Structure 1
């Protein structure tokens, strides 16, 4: 069965389950549990022969039941009816208490498919395929296809954890990660940056045994505080041959912004979560729940602020080794906001080489109202003079029209930028202002009001050329994007007034 056929078959059953109130995200979670259990079972058999000790069912206190069934695939697929539903629920609770990857995949797991007959159909569908025999890239593409379909379900909010894969591949192509180098994403979502970096290293380098082992077990690190999203990330990485089924996951469930644990990395690839402010829900004296701004007081930060994006940018700079490289997706406000924003921009220009900014078009993210950019910078040792000498800006927003369905972003759309970027030989860059590629000196930028980095120079043709307006559906999408962005701005103003 072809890759696309498997995705279609696995996903088609989601529509049946929606009638029972099982959302796309819940269905994807159940697929994750079952797929992981099936592959674990396959790995215990020839030619793999891996030793995986599946526990017996446990009681509420976490003790194994001497006469309890073993929590493995063979036992699960032998059950029927109410017995199947009961066993599946007990299996999920038991596996959630296990150490290593096994326990992390099943942490906080619940059965959302209450109809035993439909649950059995999903089990049989998973059982039809020998997943371990599929190449890692095929398994990965199948799961990535499911993640993207889930991201398209705007009601679930899953799109905020899904960065467009062509954008990720373009960022990786510019940074060109190398063997035996570490990579971190402090807000890793479903792990898209890890997979693209893994594919790039495998494709561009002939790896020896030590390099292969390092790539599999010691290259990738990250944080993801949303339990369900972290589960999808771990599964996504496992299907791409990253990590061991019985090893300890390298994706932490802790808030990356809380503190600096001292670890440093060669490369940061990230798209921190959208939304300006960090907040925490507390119970006040009246017993009511309310949200309060969360400010991180860290000595290694240039500015103390509740702005989540600025905090992530400061944290990412801290994570880098001397001469480490970063590519980070950030919203427009990071480029022009005053106060803490101005402080962070000036410090970034001085302590790192902020050499490139990619202005992104609207209509490429599943979360509406996002106007974003990619900042590329290299960390540097302390020095008296600013490290940034010039900032190259590629404007891929003005006069560019994308929609998620009719004209989605593709890698070839960013190929010109990748060519202009000149990885490994940035001194060979040549300006092409009419095509949106232009450099600005440090002196020019520092002289701008608030050190504003939101720079553009191309004429917006839609304002003067009425004959060449975008198609109506594209225009409608852009209007929605603009309105959503305006609403987000108003929400920020209201929030500030409330404070």
Structure 2
């Protein structure tokens, strides 16, 4: 989070203001253009680092993305069947007229150009190269096809390039001084940029805070080799969260005990590291092929692709798809699903996938059913839902909850405070954690859920108002709220000692047996099962309280003298005292 780095926050605000004053006032357009520039800068930095690592023997040999020449797709020679060798050679020779030295496409090269030349170079060469980066057949190139570079003024580009350079200098400084991984600081910067999108929150879409993403990752514990998905991925936050969790686990295994112990938790209590040595080329390939995201907003697909690529995933599997529609036919594909699907109200009934059986058009219900459908047997999901899903009285609500209890092992319901998604929305939400046991067509011999673990999160370490300021403990340290307690208690809930403690319905966490949930019409609201504690308060007798009030007015006066006091309030207090005695 950038609350603790005012310098970095100030630089990003400056960047926003420059785009605003430069004529790009739509926040979504601005962030797209800023993202393209950040991507160009990061691409250069990452390429130089990989070259240096290879040279120093820290990694395998590496070929720079900026080595050799690049020819724009429209000028590339295409051999046809009728072409003779001479014709083909002539085409290749003609092609050379349009080749661009890749070295000139580096950020560190073009930033030294004059303003007019820089704008023309970035618009006409660097940006087309960026769109073509992974080859004509790549997913990235496909989704970048309609992307446009629309920075209108040379002066705005020069100012933006200068400010982004300054931002990277502060990030490098922060990384060295505070020991935080550079890509994590970059993630903070990107999250802060995303938080500025004024249109976030429309159609039920809003950004999931990074500490909530980390919480879900620690709860579902994705592993290398798992196929992981988010069917409404937005800018790819949950996929990135799963990636960083897995990289951290691999890194921790490779570190010595002292090195592991030296790793400091972040401001929310999570340990994350991006030690490159922990990820072999094979592991990187497995992990990159494991992450799958889908979204119906083409802009968010592009942002998600670049977000993951900036974090070292060269070819992300993020695609433009409506996962609730008839055109999306996947089923029983994934080991892990992490999602915060949009709460849009209703969707087009005519296009809902026939495999979804709930009689509803409410997307929050259909997404949960769809996530169940997409899980392999034994696969686990962590899903954020509006709390209305837990207790809604309609048939579709009850049918979904019955499905979660009978066909899945519904492990936990964790209610979140209503301010978690501010400033976008004040909606009360909950996390559902469940593992698929029975398929949609299986006969259920025995309901899969035995007990459901409930936890009432009261605090997440941030203020629950629109500012979402980081809270401090009494000794001045960053507050973790209930985040780490949830993880500890959730993973310990099945041990005998913990299970015995989980029966107290007055506590913030407890177990409820399935039979009780069935008897209550599959109601999953925590408040339905929680027992309130009423503290008995003893008050002084009315006469004693009145004596205290009289003394406050006139001081220590003999009772005989009180009758002579003419003050209106004292006379009224004396009258009241006479009534109660």
Q: Distance in 2 between matches of 1:216 and 1:411?
A: 29
* Matches of 1:387 and 1:201, distance apart in 2: 28
Between the aligned partners of 2:419 and 2:304, the Cα distance in structure 1 is 24
User: Equivalent residue for 1:22?
Assistant: 24
* Alignment match, 1:221: 292
Choose which of 439, 444, 454 in structure 1 pairs with 2:511: 439
User: After the TM superposition, which of the residue ranges 404-413 and 369-378 deviates more from structure 2?
Assistant: 404-413
Change (3 A) 1:85 1:157: farther
Question: Which structure 2 residues correspond to residues 403-418 of structure 1 after superposition, within 5 A?
Answer: 403-405=465-467, 407=469, 411-418=480-487
Task: Write the deviation string for residues 238-261 of structure 1: whole angstroms up to 9, x where unpaired.
Answer: 2222x22xx4x3111111222232
Residue number among 191, 195, 202 corresponding to 1:147 in the alignment: 191
Q: Are the equivalent residues in 2 in contact too, given 1:272–1:309 (CA < 8 A)?
A: yes
Deviation, structure 1 residue 117 = 0.9
State the Cα distance separating 1:4 from its structure 2 match: 6.9
Match of 1:339 among 392, 395, 409: 395
Please state if 1:402 is matched with 2:464.
Answer: yes
Moved more, 134-143 or 15-24: 134-143
Deviations 1:281-320 (A, max 9, x none): xxxxxxxxxxxx5551323x23242111111111111121
**Could you tell me which of 315, 321, 341 is aligned with 1:272?**
341
Aligned to 1:289: none
Structure 1 residue 421 displacement after superposition = 0.5
Q: Is the 8 A contact 2:171 2:185 kept in 1?
A: no
Instruction: Rate the CA distance shift 1:178–1:267 in 2: closer, same or farther, 3 A.
Output: same
Judge conservation of contact 1:140–1:239 (CA < 8 Å) in 2: no
Paired with 1:36 and 1:406, the residues of 2 have a C-alpha distance of 28
2:425 alignment counterpart: 368
Instruction: Please state how far the C-alpha of 1:210 moved relative to its aligned partner.
Output: 6.5
Higher relative contact order (CA 8 A, sep 6+): 1
The equivalent of 1:123 in structure 2 is 161
The structure 2 residue matched to 1:448, chosen from 503, 510, 520, is 520
User: Which range moves more in the overlay, 152-161 or 430-439?
Assistant: 152-161
Corresponding residue of 1:316: 371
Q: Which stretches in structure 2 are left out of the alignment for 5+ residues?
A: 53-61, 79-90, 254-277, 472-478, 538-581
TM-score, normalising length: structure 1? 0.76
Q: Larger Cα Rg: Structure 1 or Structure 2? A: 2
Unaligned runs of 5+ in 1: 280-292, 465-499
| C-alpha displacement of 1:200 | 2.2
Counterpart residue number, 1:389: 450
Alpha-carbon distance in structure 1 between the residues aligned to 2:301 and 2:123: 21
Please report how far the alpha carbon of residue 101 of structure 1 lies from its aligned counterpart in structure 2 after TM superposition.
Answer: 5.7
User: What does 1:195-344 correspond to in 2, within 5 Å?
Assistant: 195-205=240-250, 206=253, 209=280, 212-214=283-285, 216-241=287-312, 243-244=313-314, 247=315, 249-258=316-325, 259-262=328-331, 264-279=333-348, 293=349, 295-299=351-355, 301-337=356-392, 338-344=394-400
Which of 52, 63, 66 pairs up with 1:49? 63
> 2:401 is paired with a residue of what secondary structure?
helix
Q: How has the CA–CA distance of structure 1 residues 55 and 39 changed in structure 2, closer, same or farther, with 3 Å as cutoff?
A: farther
